[in-house]
Amino acid sequence: MSLPFDFGSLFLHFLVLSPMSIGGAITTVPEMHRYLVVQNGWLSETEFTTSIALAQAAPGPNILFVAVLGWNVAGLAGAATAMAGIMLPSSLLTLSATRWARANREHIAVRAFAVGMMPLTLGLIIATGWLLALPFLRADDHRWGTLALIAVTVVLTLKTRLGLVWMVLGGGVLGTLGFV
C-alpha cells in the first residue's frame, strides 16, 4: 500500500540520512530502500534497484542515484527535494570538518578517526552491495552468474590494480549479453 507523497517528509528523511552517509550516499541505500519501498510504497523493488543501476551506469558523480530515486518518486521536484536533503548537511559538515582537520592534521585524534572510519565505511558498502545483488541472487536464472560476478570482482579488487570503473563496465557488458 502506497502512502500519500509528502515533499517535507522526503526532504527531512534525506536530511537525516546525509550525516550518516559516511563513505558516500550509496552507503545509506538500505535505509533509503526501507523508507521509499517498504515503509511508504512510493517505489517498487524493481523501480528502486533500476533507479540505482541507471544512475551508477551514467557518467557523473555517484550521488546522482539520489536524484533518480527522487525523480521516480515525484518528478523534477522530487529529484530536487531528495538532492537538497542529502547534500545540505553533508556539504556544510564537510566544509567545516575539512577546514578543522587541515589545521589539525597531525593531531592523533584526527589520524585515529580516519583509520577508525575505514571498517564502518566498508561494512556499509558491503550492505549496499548485498541489497542490490539480492534480487538477482533470488532469481534462479541469474543466481550463479551473480555469484560468479561477485567472486570475480572480489578477486580482481584484492589481487590487481584494475580500476573499479573497468569492473563496473565489465559487469554491464556481461549483463547486457545475458550472462548475469
Report the chain's mean pLDDT, rounded to a whole number. 89
Interatomic CA distance for residues 134 and 177, integer angstroms: 20
The pLDDT of residue 17 is 95
CA distances from 11 to 1, 45, 83, 98, 156 (A): 21, 21, 8, 25, 38
Residue 48 has pLDDT above 70, yes or no: yes
CA distances from 174 to 59, 106, 149 (A): 19, 46, 9
Per-residue pLDDT tens over the stretch 59-99: 888 899 999 999 999 999 999 999 999 999 988 988 998 89
CA distances from 124 to 6, 23, 52, 101, 112 (A): 28, 8, 16, 23, 19
